Structure 1
Amino acid sequence: MYFKRFIGERIYLSPLNPDDYLKYAEWINDLEVSIALFEMKTPITAEGERQIIEDLAKENVFAIVLNEVDKLIGNVGLHNINWISRTAELGIVIGDKFYWGQGYGKEAIELILDYAFNMLNLHSVYLKVYSYNVNAIKCYEKVGFKYAGRLREAIEVAGERYDIIYMDILKNEFKSVYIKEVVEKKKVSPK
């Protein structure tokens, strides 16, 4: 079961449902999906994925669900939140490959950034991405992420060396897509 916590045009973000662990295990064990994820290079059992989802469900991680049909296609979340510096790390996966390259990731990132900046009052959100993940980098740029640095030849995959790219976005660089609209609806005109 899903709950419409943050609603976009085509998707909404819902608290994670630990009962989806088999779907997540299927995605994580698909090399095309997991090759882009940090620390997901080894196969994972269904029971192992269940524990991961239960742990993530206690954090600021949300399921990405299609509005019209309530279908789970991935998740997005904020990790390593530093409440003093007001920073967090973005993590996202569109596990259902049918929905790759159609803008669902961009919409999910916009919704989670809206939450990060306008509900959690964070100042910046950063991410790490492998240099070979060109489509993800283009998506992050479209949302407004800027290059913050890179670790050159930091990983090796299939005998080739690749950089880890760091990107970030500041609160004043982001325009609210959802929360501001909800607040405006709640305002009462003065009498």
Structure 2
Amino acid sequence: MFETNRLLLREYRPADEPFFLELFNSYDVLLNMTPNFVAPNHDRSLEYINSMKRTVLFVVAESKKTGVQLGFVNVHIEPPQNLDGSISIALAKDWWGKGYGTEIMEWLIAYSFTSLGLRRLSLKVFASNPGAIALYEHVGFKHEGRQREAVWKEGKWVDFLMMGMLSREYQSLRSQHSQNTPVCPVHDV
């Protein structure tokens, strides 16, 4: 288990299943997830959870104060020799715009580069998701490319943006800050 200022980042438990099914049935969350989720589907949601449990890192974000689940983040590395972690993150809508995404991403970046020894992190985001794009830019991700009209969504074609961060870029961000205060501290519990 890991912790940030306001969150516990812990293993998935069977008791989390109702939260995940609700998360994957939320229209607003579903709208911004990968194109595999075109409509809520109980069996596919369970398959997705099981696939995340097989990744190198899959944690549930939970409020320290209330014990309520907020969302999840995971890192998938394929093929392993490239040391490129592909990120997935989702928060329940009630927690959007409150800094939790930043808190999770800062922890994830630090953990991925300092503990997992990754060379880079990458992600895909819909161009129609300005909140997520702003978050990723804020924590240091760079735009690496665009897949034009990649997904049919809500009656129109939407672009996918590819974003990434290299370990040396993370180290540069850390060196720009005080040596005593890392950009993205990692805390084990």
Which band: TM-score by shorter chain?
Answer: 0.7 to 0.9
Amino acid at match of 1:86: L
Give 1:149's aligned amino acid. G
1:56 to 52, 56, 69: 52
RCO comparison, higher one (Cα < 8 Å, 6+): 2
Q: Does 1:91 align with 2:88?
A: yes
1:76 aligns with 2:64: no
Give the Cα separation in 2 of the matches to 1:44 and 1:139.
Answer: 28
Matches for 1:19-30 after TM superposition, within 5 Å: 19-30=15-26
Aligned residue among 137, 156, 159 for 1:160: 156
Sequence identity (%): 27
SS in 2 for 1:108: helix
Partner of 1:41: 38
**Structure 2 unaligned runs (5+)?**
175-181
* Runs of 4+ in structure 1 over 3 Å off: 47-52
Hey, what's the Cα distance between the residues in 2 that align with 1:164 and 1:106? 21
Match of 1:187 in 2: none
TM-score w.r.t. length of structure 1:
0.84
Q: Which among 4, 11, 14 is matched to residue 8 of structure 1?
A: 4
Higher radius of gyration, 1 or 2:
1
* TM superposition score normalised by structure 2: 0.85
- Structure 1 counterpart of 2:148, which letter? R
Deviations along 1:95-118, one digit per CA (max 9) or x if unpaired, are: 2x1110111011111111122111
Where does residue 107 of structure 1 map in the other structure?
Answer: 103
Q: What does 1:122-161 correspond to in 2, within 5 Å?
A: 122-161=118-157
Alignment RMSD (CA, Å): 1.8
Shift of residue 48 of structure 1? 4.7
Task: Find 1:118's aligned residue among 110, 114, 117.
Answer: 114
- CA distance in 2: counterparts of 1:55 and 1:130, whole angstroms: 22
